[in-house]
């Protein structure tokens, strides 16, 4: 027989990604295609010390190895409250407003599961995180892309598309977006919070990168702008924003630990969804994060890692200016993992990818990050002249070498265009 998969997953083959990752496993390739945090910054010694402490305490070891609660490991959520307040989310946050996740991505899945019926529209900034678009497809949801400028989502297009599509959700990465590295200014966030209240849709505020800021000042979260008419923080059913973050970029992605913050009724619904998904997040991962926070390793380690990220980003920007053609217009982020580039001439980054690989350098073509724009622009076609570059997991020397190789490939194509 041929398997009859669900309509949600039938069209998803994952072949393209698989093939790319097979190519990238060749060690000679300098890859800007991934999204790994800097391997050099992983706190190996500290987590080694922490696991030793956990297993030296028979009571805690037994608790870690036994089943746990869906909502979170005892004591962990309390420790997150100061971190959450620091994102500008004020008022009465307590355990009922927090759900521990198996990585921030699980929060996106659960928000879709909780709010999206088949055929429902979700608005996204175009381009946006590929993983969100894929997960939405797996629930038969429909993504529509909103225009963006250099500061992120375009508010006029957003409101027009809210009116047109009556979306269930808006998905947003307002800090150092994946794939663009863009950051939304405070005013834009405030307006988005107000639009959510006015038009009654939920906002999934995805903030995996916010703490990886190596220049400029932090901007308060969208959720922090949920205020009542007197400017008081909202903590009732008027809350429209669920804030999601993770420890993948600040501690370790391999531990798969993140968290969602929102109205207690929403958090509870997400917990019901999580119960069926994986019952609870690994207790060992949670216990490690808990002690990591208790031992005050969190902030100093981020401080130590920021110069690494800054150096790599600076190296990449320098190499781009040195080697990439003048037709390459790119972002210059203040944090996060990614630089986004667009050619002002019609080079096709999908077609050129194989040539880049032959020169031992890899990027991700931008088309994969686009949703249909609702005006005839189609996913898979939009962004044919764009690409995403990741700088966080290669040394400055290899960054220079890789960008040089890419520059030569693209210059050759642009020269050929001129001759046509």
Enumerate residues 112-131 that contact its own copies by CB under 8 A.
113-118, 131
Structure token digits, residue 277? 């998904």
- Please say whether the beta carbons of 386 and 180 come within 8 A: no
16 binding its own copies? (CB under 8 A):
no
The reply to whether 308 sits near its own copies by the rule CB under 8 A is no
- Considering only residues 250 to 269 of the shown chain, the ones binding its own copies according to CB under 8 A are 252-256, 263, 265-266, 268-269
The least distance separating its own copies from the CB of residue 271, rounded to whole angstroms, comes to 7
Binding mask 152-191 for its own copies (x = CB under 8 A): ----------------x-----------------------
171 close to 134: Cβ distance less than 8 angstroms: no
Whether the Cβ atoms of residue 74 and residue 63 lie closer than 8 Å to each other = yes
Binding residues for its own copies restricted to 232-251, rule: CB under 8 A? 237-238, 240, 248
Q: Which residues contact 135 (CB under 8 A, 6 or more apart)?
A: 105, 108, 109, 112
Q: Does 64 engage in binding with its own copies (CB under 8 A)?
A: yes
**Which of 224, 281, 385, 386 touches its own copies (CB under 8 A)?**
281
* In the complex, minimum distance from the CB of residue 252 to its own copies, in angstroms, rounded to a whole number: 4
5 part of the interface to its own copies, by CB under 8 A: yes
Q: How far apart are CA 221 and CA 223, in angstroms?
A: 5
Q: Least CB distance from residue 297 to its own copies, whole Å? A: 13
Q: What is the CA radius of gyration of the chain?
A: 22
Write out the binding residues for its own copies, residues 89-108 only, by CB under 8 A: 102-103, 105-106, 108
Q: Is residue 229 part of the contact set for its own copies (CB under 8 A)?
A: no
Segment 381 to 420, residues that bind its own copies, using CB under 8 A: none
Q: Could you tell me which stretch among 35-43, 297-305, 401-409, 412-420 binds its own copies (CB under 8 A)?
A: 35-43
Which residues neighbour 91 within 8 Å (Cβ) at sequence distance 6 or greater? 232, 233, 234, 235
Nearer to its own copies, 61 or 306 (CB): 61
Give pairs for 245-249: CB < 8 Å, separation 24+.
245/87, 245/104, 245/206, 245/207, 245/208, 245/210, 246/101, 246/103, 246/104, 246/105, 246/208, 247/289, 248/37, 248/103, 248/104, 248/208, 249/37, 249/208, 249/209, 249/211, 249/212, 249/337
Q: Which of 27, 52, 217, 418 binds its own copies (CB under 8 A)?
A: 52
Residue 149, class by beta-carbon neighbours within 10 Å (0-12 exposed, 13-18 middle, 19+ buried)? exposed
| Minimum separation from the CB atom of position 280 to its own copies (A) | 7
Report the nearest approach of its own copies to the CB of residue 229 (Å).
Answer: 15
């Amino acid at each position: 027989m041929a398997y009859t998969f669900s309509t949600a997953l039938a069209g998803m083959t994952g072949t393209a990604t698989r093939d790319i990752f097979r190519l990238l496993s060749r060690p000679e390739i300098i890859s800007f295609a991934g999204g790994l945090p800097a391997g050099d910054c992983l706190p190996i010694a500290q987590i080694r010390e922490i696991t030793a402490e956990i297993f030296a305490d028979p009571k805690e070891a037994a608790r870690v190895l036994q089943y746990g609660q869906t909502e979170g490991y005892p004591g962990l959520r309390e420790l997150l409250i100061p971190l959450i307040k620091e994102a500008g989310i004020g008022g009465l946050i307590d355990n009922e407003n927090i759900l521990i996740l198996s990585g921030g991505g699980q929060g996106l899945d659960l928000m879709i599961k909780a709010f999206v019926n088949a055929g429902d529209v979700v608005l996204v900034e175009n381009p946006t995180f590929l993983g969100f678009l894929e997960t939405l497809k797996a629930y038969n949801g429909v993504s529509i892309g909103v225009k963006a400028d250099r500061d992120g989502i375009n508010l006029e297009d957003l409101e027009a598309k809210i009116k047109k599509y009556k979306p269930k959700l808006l998905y947003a990465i307002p800090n150092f977006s994946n794939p663009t590295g863009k950051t939304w200014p405070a005013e834009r966030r405030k307006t988005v919070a107000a639009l959510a209240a006015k038009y009654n849709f939920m906002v999934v505020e995805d903030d995996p990168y916010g703490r990886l800021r190596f220049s400029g000042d932090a901007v308060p979260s969208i959720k922090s702008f949920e205020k009542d008419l007197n400017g008081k923080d909202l903590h009732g059913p008027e809350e429209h924003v669920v804030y999601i973050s993770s420890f993948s970029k600040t501690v370790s992605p391999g531990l798969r630990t993140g968290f969602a913050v929102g109205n207690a009724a929403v958090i509870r619904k997400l917990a019901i969804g999580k119960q069926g998904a994986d019952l609870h997040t690994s207790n060992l991962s949670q216990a490690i994060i808990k002690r990591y926070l208790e031992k005050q390793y969190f902030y100093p380690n981020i401080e130590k890692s920021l110069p690494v990220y800054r150096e790599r980003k600076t190296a990449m920007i320098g190499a781009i200016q040195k080697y990439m053609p003048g037709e390459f217009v790119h972002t210059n982020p203040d944090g996060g993992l990614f630089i986004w580039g667009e050619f002002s001439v019609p080079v096709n980054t999908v077609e050129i990818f194989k040539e880049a690989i032959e020169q031992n350098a890899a990027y991700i073509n931008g088309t994969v990050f686009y949703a249909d724009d609702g005006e005839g622009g189609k996913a898979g076609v939009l962004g044919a002249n764009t690409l995403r570059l990741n700088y966080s997991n290669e040394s400055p020397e290899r960054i220079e070498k890789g960008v040089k190789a890419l520059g030569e490939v693209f210059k050759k194509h642009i020269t050929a265009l001129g001759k046509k």
